[in-house]
């Protein structure tokens, strides 16, 4: 069993090292700037995913509405995970529309829709991005494998390729999410280095 464990550890390390690629660093920088700009214009994030990626979407949102590394103002983010909404729309209209319906309900022009998917082929996420695009809303895609049907559909995308299983893709996604949040805080609350007391109360406008 030890060999199998070492092989899995090696794969996990490769997933982390994927973040060192030029395209990964460029994505992280661009995503952090897009999100910071969204907050500066008083927008919010809507984040969607299925299964483990939905759990990652919820994690992403709570790091913003709660706290990450330091105390600061809450940053608006909504994970499209409310059970009543999901079951209502899937029962009445179909599971393919659970996220696009959420976009219709919550998204405004100043917002960003973020989708997390290891395949890029989830119909409900494809439809959500299409509806967001129709509304003129910026989109960010955390994708995997080949990028699937979502490849080329988002305003900004990152494809974690080269892994056979979704868990490694999700590990890379979550590491990038944490770094992006760190960079967003750095842009919005730059005074924290010299004036830590301002970090908790400074406006990000």
Per residue in 89-116, pLDDT (tens digit) is 999 999 999 999 999 999 999 999 999 9
Enclosing domain of residue 158: 21-188
Number of domains in the chain: 1
Q: What is the pLDDT along the chain (205 residues), one digit of tens a residue?
A: 999 999 999 999 999 999 999 999 999 999 999 999 999 999 999 999 999 999 999 999 999 999 999 899 999 999 999 999 999 999 999 999 999 999 999 999 999 999 999 999 999 999 999 999 999 999 999 999 999 999 999 999 999 999 999 999 999 999 999 999 999 999 999 855 544 554 555 555 5
Question: How far, in whole angstroms, is CA 81 from its chain's centroid?
Answer: 14
Residue (of 145, 105, 151) closest to 125 by Cα position: 151
Is residue 115 in a domain? yes
Is residue 8 in a domain? no
Is residue 2 in a domain? no
Is residue 5 in a domain? no
Report d(CA 95, CA 12) in Å as an integer.
32
Is residue 40 in a domain? yes
Is residue 143 in a domain? yes
Per residue in 170-201, pLDDT (tens digit) is 999 999 999 999 999 999 998 555 445 545 55
Is residue 177 in a domain? yes
User: CATH number, domain at 123?
Assistant: 3.40.50.10490
Greatest Cα-to-Cα distance within the chain, rounded to the nearest angstrom = 54
Which run of H or of E encompasses 198? helix 196-199
Report d(CA 152, CA 148) in Å as an integer.
9
Is residue 198 in a domain? no
């Amino acid at each position: 069993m030890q060999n199998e464990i070492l092989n899995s550890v090696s794969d996990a390390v490769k997933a982390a090292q994927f973040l060192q690629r030029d395209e990964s660093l460029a994505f992280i920088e661009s995503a952090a700037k897009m999100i910071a700009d969204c907050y500066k214009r008083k927008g919010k994030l809507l984040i969607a995913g299925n299964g483990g990626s939905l759990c990652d979407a919820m994690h992403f949102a709570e790091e913003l509405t709660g706290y990450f590394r330091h105390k600061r103002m809450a940053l608006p983010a909504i994970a499209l995970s409310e059970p009543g909404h999901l079951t209502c729309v899937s029962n009445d209209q179909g599971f393919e529309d659970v996220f696009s319906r959420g976009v219709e309900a919550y998204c405004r022009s100043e917002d960003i829709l973020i989708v997390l998917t290891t395949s890029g082929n989830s119909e409900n996420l494809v439809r959500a991005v299409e509806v967001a695009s129709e509304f003129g809303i910026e989109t960010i895609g955390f994708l995997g494998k080949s990028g699937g049907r979502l490849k080329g559909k988002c305003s900004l995308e990152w494809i974690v390729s080269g892994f056979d299983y979704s868990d490694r893709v999700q590990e890379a996604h979550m590491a990038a999410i944490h770094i992006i949040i760190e960079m967003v805080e750095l842009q919005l609350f730059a005074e924290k280095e010299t004036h830590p007391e301002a970090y908790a109360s400074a406006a990000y406008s």
